[in-house]
Structure 1
């Protein structure tokens, strides 16, 4: 029987050691998983015109193709989150890659528009389950002092995948037709799944929580510190909270987590509403204001550029300052910059600057919110917590995708429209401020390693 002297906390072990190539490789592998989502999101927009021509569809008929993917993402996040806490992060990631890959390959051979819609939904299921697990696995291998920076940098895979998806789709469609885009987008994750069977480790915190053999845990920790003496050691994880038992979903509403869960859900809902509204409608809004289609596209691209740079910068700040208040300030500034866009749509240079900073403050901050959610929940319900925050946020993304058209139809002028779009970002900022004050009142350390312990 292990004595207290022979017990090692794996969380502290990771925190006190320097970052190693082993941990960076995990972040890179998860970066590639998130990049698949970005590739798929961008590629579907490029293949929409040839799909419309093939099946003689109206522009309105294309809506279900986009909506099916979003619905699948939402359902996948809600469905697979608890499974990741039950069977492990690695197993679920491999399963989601297989689901996504096979459904995308099948979609490439769709015999009808109805089949394409159905398979796009299944593709979304795989992606919806994979992303929260990628966030969680990266977070659980990062030392606290670098966690926010590494997780947000990993999440930049989405924007990189989006850029690659645009370029690749354009080349593939010209040379091989639209089906080749879906085929490539399916084969790549299938190959990744085969490689990750050996290359991707299971979360060491999950191993402890699931009572894996000590020898397996020790072998993984030696890849972080080869010189560590782990013979005969019993392992524990300080951030494993068993609460009152019950379902993983029920754990999100335990007394110490309930308020944080609701505030995170509000933040994700408002944040993704704004992001998807701007991504979907900003080119149209700028073109309506007199910009050429080329100018509108270039200005809109700065939203993603700002989001990528913002994620890295905000992650760096979150590791050095109170992460809740960093996100709160950034969201409020996002509301200001979004409102500013409505007053400068006639000036391409000023519009570019405003859109860039809006991307920094809302798209970049959403990456930070993912890092914060992974840090807030304890190991035994972490994937569930991150998945459900993303799943609830997807409701906001669907609403945002629809809201732009409704606002245009209502005849809003540009200053009023963009001011209204900025309001949800400010609401998200206030939610993060309340989150931070409640953590401070509960005397929880402000660093993102903290696990929620609220009254």
Structure 2
């Protein structure tokens, strides 16, 4: 056999069965985003306890939600380019350890101001963990199954959110809001040693950055133990870019798609975080118990899990932009339905579930689309910066809920307003999908 033969590592991954090792990577990244989801949902459910203990108004809680999301935004802006420069694993480990520690310290907050600062620091770590989990998972997935596998991994967020909401609602009376923050700190810190020993660096990143061939071969043998990799030279179709990674998001025909992805993430996360942050409070204000409100709100996360799996499978078989555009358009109707069904718990639960399927499920699909859209040398930056721009929407969404409640808007009008960004997201992702199809066709004909 030719001793100088070359092996394209992505082709290697594409042409071998999805191994137990790759499933372990997917599972660990699932757990990382599940802890993120737990944290996101729990803060919404401890809000009533904070309001009661510290005598806060709904508007005063707005900065608390906004601080964590502001940290998420800044963390995504910072840690994406760092991951493209220094590696996905190192940034993931640091991010998980950082947000776990910050959450742990948050339980000792003596007032709202201290908690706001610590929520911002927690968000910094979360902002680095989630996009890099998406990136690392994507780079170990075969191309034909990438969307469905990445969306399956990201279901960790919706599962963690559902568990976080239900756990917080049931445990706050027993262990208080400080106990919930304790859980939010202990869980990620317990995960760090496992990540250290089991999680690999991206094999695509290793090749792109000239890591030793034997190190790359060791990683690939864990995917395919019987593969003959002796004296192979490992290559990748992508190239290593120079300079600050973010500027390359607008190179090579990526610019228009980048802007449209950013717009889609902005609209979607505005809706998701408004609903995640304020649904418990809104539903409780109608006279429903907090426990029942937690069940109804959890339907959004459960729907998101179901939607992510279904949408991911459809995206692997159909044009992804079209699939997501249809889902977002349906989601607009589901969100509007929430505002007119609050008098009927069963109808309300169904509307919230369907909003989760279409809106939250579509956001998971958009993450998979972003990971597939960008080449290796800017993938972490591309996914992270799309997430960061989306976090601007999440900050506005989480704070606008308090503003609309304080203004006394009827629930029907409030949720009709919230449905508008879903229609805009349908438009932007559809256009992005058409542009990407044209770009791929032009590349194939070149």
TM-score, reference length from structure 2: 0.91
1:234 alignment counterpart: 233
User: Alpha-carbon deviation of 1:25?
Assistant: 0.5
- Native 8 Å contact 2:208 2:240 kept in 1: no
Secondary structure of 1:221's partner? helix
- Native 8 Å contact 2:331 2:355 kept in 1: yes
Aligned counterparts of 2:348 and 2:112: Cα–Cα separation in 1? 38
1:337 alignment counterpart: 334
User: Alpha-carbon deviation of 1:296?
Assistant: 4.9
Secondary structure of 2:305's partner? helix
Q: Does 1:42 align with 2:41?
A: yes
User: Alpha-carbon deviation of 1:193?
Assistant: 1.2
Aligned counterparts of 1:395 and 1:298: Cα–Cα separation in 2? 28
- Native 8 Å contact 2:41 2:277 kept in 1: no
1:324 alignment counterpart: 321
RMSD after superposition:
2.8
User: Alpha-carbon deviation of 1:194?
Assistant: 1.6
- Native 8 Å contact 1:290 1:346 kept in 2: no
Aligned counterparts of 1:178 and 1:293: Cα–Cα separation in 2? 14
1:430 alignment counterpart: 427
Query: Aligned match of 1:313 in 286, 310, 317?
Result: 310
Secondary structure of 2:251's partner? coil
- Native 8 Å contact 2:32 2:129 kept in 1: yes
Q: Does 1:216 align with 2:229?
A: no
In structure 2, runs of 5+ residues without a counterpart are: none
- Native 8 Å contact 2:304 2:356 kept in 1: yes
Secondary structure of 2:141's partner? coil
- Native 8 Å contact 2:97 2:189 kept in 1: yes
- Native 8 Å contact 1:291 1:346 kept in 2: no
Aligned counterparts of 2:212 and 2:235: Cα–Cα separation in 1? 12
Q: Does 1:391 align with 2:383?
A: no
Secondary structure of 1:8's partner? strand
Deviation track 1:385-413 (CA, whole Å, cap 9, x = no partner) reads 10100100011111112333444555654
User: Alpha-carbon deviation of 1:82?
Assistant: 0.4
TM-score, reference length from structure 1: 0.90
Aligned counterparts of 1:98 and 1:203: Cα–Cα separation in 2? 20
Deviation track 1:11-60 (CA, whole Å, cap 9, x = no partner) reads 11101111111001101000110011112123323444454555554554
User: Alpha-carbon deviation of 1:217?
Assistant: 0.3
1:116 alignment counterpart: 115
1:195 alignment counterpart: 194
Classify 1:276/1:46 alpha carbon distance in 2 versus 1 (closer, same or farther; 3 Å). Answer: closer
1:74 alignment counterpart: 73
Q: Does 1:142 align with 2:141?
A: yes
Aligned counterparts of 1:294 and 1:108: Cα–Cα separation in 2? 23
Classify 1:360/1:172 alpha carbon distance in 2 versus 1 (closer, same or farther; 3 Å). Answer: closer
- Native 8 Å contact 1:255 1:454 kept in 2: no
Classify 1:439/1:128 alpha carbon distance in 2 versus 1 (closer, same or farther; 3 Å). Answer: same
- Native 8 Å contact 1:256 1:454 kept in 2: no
In structure 1, runs of 5+ residues without a counterpart are: 446-451
- Native 8 Å contact 2:159 2:302 kept in 1: no
Classify 1:377/1:415 alpha carbon distance in 2 versus 1 (closer, same or farther; 3 Å). Answer: same
User: Alpha-carbon deviation of 1:444?
Assistant: 4.7
